[in-house]
Amino acid sequence: MEKNEVDYITENVAEQTKVTLVFFGKDCEISKHEFEPSYKILYQGKYVARVIEGCNAISVIILFASFIFAFSTSFGKTFLYIFLGSILIYVLNFFRIALLSVALYHFPQYEHVLHNIVFPLVIYGIVFLLWILWVTKISGYVAKVTAK
C-alpha cells in the first residue's frame, strides 16, 4: 500500500456518505487526500471533514459482535443478530458522518463537541441498546441464567 492509500471499506464509507448527502439534495464531493490515507468531504464546496480508517465502523462492529458472541445461546440466532446488527451499525455510521459533515459546515466552532462527544455517543449508544436488547429479549441468555 502506498503511503496515502485508503482501504476498501473506508473508501466505501466515504462514497456512501457522499451518495447519502446527494440523495437528500445536498452539494457534496469527496476527494482522496494527497498526503494521508483519507478522503476529504467537501460540503457546499467547503472542506468540512475527512474520512480515515477509524471512521469506517469496523472496530465498532467487532466490539458489538464480540459482546453478542460472549452471550450467545445458539449459532443461528447469534449469527443472524450479528449480521443484521453489523449492517445497521455500518449504515448508521455513514449517516452519522453525513450528519456530522452538515453540522460541521453550519457549526464549525463546535467541532470538538460534535466529533468527540455527540456523534460517538450516538453510535455507541445504539450499540449499547443493541446489546441490552440481545441479552434481555432475543438471546434467551437471561432466562437460561435465571433458571439455574
Residue whose cell numbers read 480508517: 53
Q: Within 13 Å and on the Cβ side, how many CA atoms surround 109? A: 0
| pLDDT score, position 69 | 95
Is 51 exposed, middle or buried (CB count within 10 Å of its CB: 0-12, 13-18, 19+)? buried
Share of the chain above pLDDT 90, in %: 86
| pLDDT score, position 148 | 62
Query: Is the predicted pLDDT of residue 52 greater than 70, yes or no?
Result: yes
| pLDDT score, position 114 | 97
Domain ranges for the chain: 8-146
Query: Is the predicted pLDDT of residue 145 greater than 80, yes or no?
Result: no
Residue pair 60/86 in contact (Cβ under 8 Å)? The answer is no
Task: Name the average pLDDT for the chain.
Answer: 94
| pLDDT score, position 15 | 98
- What number is the average pLDDT over the span 21-45? 96
pTM above 0.85, yes or no: yes
- Produce one character per residue of 128-141: b if its CB has 16 or more CB atoms within 10 Å, e if not: eebbeebbeebbeb
Report the Cα 102 to chain-centroid distance in Å. Answer: 16
Count the neighbouring beta carbons within 10 Å of the beta carbon of residue 6.
22
Residue 9 identity: I
pLDDT band at 4 (very low <50, low <70, confident <90, very high): confident
Please write the tens of the pLDDT for every residue from 79-123. Answer: 999 999 999 999 999 999 999 999 999 999 999 999 999 999 999
